Structure 1
């Protein structure tokens, strides 16, 4: 008892207690639900048997059913297109704004904070906002495109199979871009000005300085931004629920929304859990790739 009190007085025991509490929290609120999700993916679980302690085991039948589902290929393509387009444009636009606000001019900090305000908004609020912007009858986007002459008639973004996924992509790019901008701006701020001054004295132009100094010095930051972008995009649900609800005819259904539909509309929790497990494996794969790449960079 005396040793325990001494360790707490020295701060060692208190640090250990905090770590144990954090691990206990993760185990209770992340580990156990994850384990339960994996277990029910191999079981037949519906609204009548959800409250039971034991469920009928079906082995890999749920996984085979998801793979054989006619909607699976559409969902896979939609998820890849949605993730790739969102992450790419969030990164490119966010990098452009980070470079712009990295310049010294009055109000740069305030404008950067104003951009970040969009990212802290709840996803459903952003979805409702873009629902109005993308309205086929009185939406602002159609009004601007018609005024500029890019289109001859209004586009019904949310109900047209050719545009429904694009509508959610546009909203997600706007939603996630400020987060990319802030992370990239932090990385840019860590590059010493001496490197740019030396390169400028050697005759390097703006593009050469960007290619030979900015990109190499930003490698770890760029990797983190892209990895987080993929993870956050694969978790995006609110925008689909608020804008298209996966329709029409599954044209904007992605994996995360399909998992919700199977679980809470069709009450097929086993098949819904299968999609969640697959997405968890994908996210872990992305995380491992990023960790291994940064580890190799550190060794160099």
Structure 2
């Protein structure tokens, strides 16, 4: 211990202090609440026993009761649809924009910067904007769809059970597309141009060059983007709070919003913690995929 302290004081252990302080910060602000949440999922907790550490231990009862509730499986299905559609939409549109901006033209940098506006905006602000866009009576989206002949009457996106989940999906795709575009643009810029020149000399068309060069060279980048998209999408709460509040009748409810609703509206903190633990497992899985993708990219 004295050796460690002396190395820090004389400057040789500066790197130890530089790393240990952020780790301690993360442990206090992230590690302890995480452990507390996991422990709470195995206890019986209500608003009267929340501040006490001597709470009844119930084992896996909270998990069993959670999956026995009739609304659990529809909400899990909503979450799967929300995550899959959001990641697919953000990636496909982002990839298309990245390929579009890959070709240099006047004003490309300025236009690319405009797309980043959606990413830096707070989720509640984005939700407020899309509340106006998706309004059934005077929304911009309904106006455009009517003018183009796609629909004949108004669609009440936020209150219609058939469209409420897709209203949040559309807003989330808009929110995350620019992030996908930037990461994919970085990946495209790292592909050597001589590979395309050689393939073009061999007679390969644009599709063949994309399939045999672009996609294989972007494999690790795509893996990292999908993993990050899964992490960010599973954490998306603001849009649901601002647009649909999980309604109507849970048709747009997902696990992250349901965990908050159980904990802070119904005061069933144990069930809310149980859902959070299940989400943490999926986020940890996505984090492992992301780390493996980035490690493969660095090695490559």
TM range (shorter): over 0.9
User: Cα–Cα, structure 1 residues 228 and 153, in superposed 2: closer, same or farther, change >3 Å?
Assistant: same
Is 1:181 equivalent to 2:152 in the alignment?
no
Partner of 2:231: 231
Counterparts of 2:34 and 2:52, CA distance in 1: 18
Partner of 1:166: 166
Q: Shift in Å at residue 288 of structure 1?
A: 2.5
Q: Shift in Å at residue 196 of structure 1?
A: 1.3
Q: Give the secondary structure class of the aligned counterpart of 2:106.
A: coil
Counterparts of 1:218 and 1:22, CA distance in 2: 33
Counterparts of 2:46 and 2:138, CA distance in 1: 42
User: Cα–Cα, structure 1 residues 208 and 39, in superposed 2: closer, same or farther, change >3 Å?
Assistant: same
Partner of 1:89: 89
Counterparts of 1:216 and 1:176, CA distance in 2: 24
Partner of 1:195: 195
User: Which 10-residue stretch deviates more, 89-98 or 188-197?
Assistant: 188-197
Q: Shift in Å at residue 17 of structure 1?
A: 0.3
Partner of 1:272: 272
Counterparts of 1:293 and 1:191, CA distance in 2: 17
Counterparts of 2:209 and 2:220, CA distance in 1: 18
User: Which 10-residue stretch deviates more, 240-249 or 213-222?
Assistant: 213-222
**Deviations 1:153-197 (Å, cap 9, x if unpaired)?**
100000000000010000000000000000000111111111111
Q: Shift in Å at residue 107 of structure 1?
A: 1.0
User: Cα–Cα, structure 1 residues 292 and 5, in superposed 2: closer, same or farther, change >3 Å?
Assistant: closer
Q: Shift in Å at residue 287 of structure 1?
A: 2.5
1:22-61 to 2 correspondences below 5 Å = 22-61=22-61
Is 1:104 equivalent to 2:101 in the alignment?
no
Q: Give the secondary structure class of the aligned counterpart of 2:19.
A: helix
Counterparts of 2:292 and 2:151, CA distance in 1: 47
Partner of 2:19: 19
Partner of 1:136: 136
Counterparts of 2:10 and 2:113, CA distance in 1: 42
Is 1:78 equivalent to 2:78 in the alignment?
yes
Partner of 2:251: 251
Question: Unaligned regions of 5+ residues in structure 1, if any?
Answer: none
TM-score scaled to structure 1, two decimals? Answer: 0.95
User: Cα–Cα, structure 1 residues 293 and 4, in superposed 2: closer, same or farther, change >3 Å?
Assistant: closer
**Deviations 1:30-80 (Å, cap 9, x if unpaired)?**
110000000000111111111223212222111111100110011010000
TM-score scaled to structure 2, two decimals? Answer: 0.95
User: Cα–Cα, structure 1 residues 32 and 6, in superposed 2: closer, same or farther, change >3 Å?
Assistant: closer
User: Cα–Cα, structure 1 residues 149 and 257, in superposed 2: closer, same or farther, change >3 Å?
Assistant: same
Counterparts of 1:257 and 1:127, CA distance in 2: 14
Q: Shift in Å at residue 114 of structure 1?
A: 0.7
Question: Unaligned regions of 5+ residues in structure 2, if any?
Answer: none
